Amino acid sequence: MLVLRLLNVVAPAYFLCISLVTFVLQIFLFIPSMFRDPSTTPLFSPALLHGALFLFLSANALGNYVLVIQSSPEDLGKGLNLGKGAEVVVDWLDGNRSPGSALPSTHFCRLCARVTQRHDHHCFFTGNCIGNRNMRNFIMFCLYTSLACLDSLVAGMAYISAALSMSFTNPLAFLTLLPHSISQFFSGALLSSEMFVILMLYLWLGIGLACAGFCCHQMLLILRGQTRYQVRKGMVVRARPWRENLQEVFGKRWLLGLLIPVLNVGSDYSRQKEK
């Protein structure tokens, strides 16, 4: 438990450091060095367009990240219309109830001491549980993080191909880049800054693939009306049309949340909280 609590603190700090490094590399290294075209008008210059795209992806990723970690157990416990079950939530918050007294689809996490309706899993990179309130923001966070990593990966490969005068047309070139770079780095033929960018390429690839996998798996569960916690515990869920399952998570104004980071708009949770 101590190791998990330590990971719950270290993982968010690690993600924020990676985000800061990515932002610095993109703005101060990749864009100034790779997008120079004097013949292009400043308004439609590749540097400006690529910078605007990266800032849009980064703002949505970090904005949804903040919204995922913003929720508190007090808000979840008081905002939900649980009826008689509200006493159970209060007892859980005071530590007087055991997990065995759980409400249907409700779970108390000992790591973050939060009561979550429709609990899905505990995310260490956000230090928070993912449930009914922040599920949509978690999916948007994974989506835009994977897109931002893909954008950084492409820009980084373009920078490395120009700096080292190499081509990535061969699919094996990227796979053999790291071992060749390590040997060149220790022989003194490769700068430390270039080696750092190469390491970041593989880090962006790993984070991007992981976030894309989380997003796709989560969408599949949502379409089926399930959560990871329900699947892990073998809970039986009521079969409903997939459109209703999507609307429960994304709400009717899903397009607004797709473009800008906002809390659940028009979802069942929002309507229940207003009551």
Position 207 scores a pLDDT of 95
Confidence of residue 154 (pLDDT cuts 50, 70, 90): very high
Position 96 scores a pLDDT of 44
Position 275 scores a pLDDT of 44
Q: Which of 112, 123, 149, 215 does the annotation list as catalytic?
A: 123
In degrees and rounded to multiples of 5, residue 188 shows phi and psi of 90, 5
Q: What is the largest CA-CA distance in the chain?
A: 70
pLDDT: is 200 or 112 the higher one? 200
pLDDT tens across 101-152, in order? 445 567 888 887 778 888 898 899 988 888 888 899 999 999 999 999 999 9
Q: Quick one: which H or E segment has residue 232?
A: helix 228-233
How far is it, in rounded angstroms, from Cα 210 to Cα 218? 12
pLDDT tens across 28-72, in order? 998 887 666 555 555 567 778 888 999 999 999 999 999 998 865
Confidence of residue 234 (pLDDT cuts 50, 70, 90): confident
3-state secondary structure of 129: strand
Provide mean pLDDT across the span 248-257: 80
Does residue 112 have an active-site annotation? Answer: no
For residue 27, count CB atoms less than 10 angstroms from its CB and return exposed for 0-12, middle for 13-18, buried for 19 or more: middle
- Name the average pLDDT for the chain: 80
* pLDDT over threshold 70, residue 204: yes
Provide mean pLDDT across the span 205-213: 95
pLDDT: is 8 or 95 the higher one? 8
* pLDDT over threshold 50, residue 10: yes
DSSP class of residue 250? H
Nearest to 114 by CA among 100, 95, 101, 137: 95
pLDDT tens across 60-82, in order? 999 999 999 886 554 444 444 44
Position 99 scores a pLDDT of 45
Does the predicted model carry a pTM greater than 0.85?
no
* pLDDT over threshold 80, residue 267: no
Q: Would you tell me the crossing angle of helices 242-250 and 192-224 to the nearest 10 degrees?
A: 130
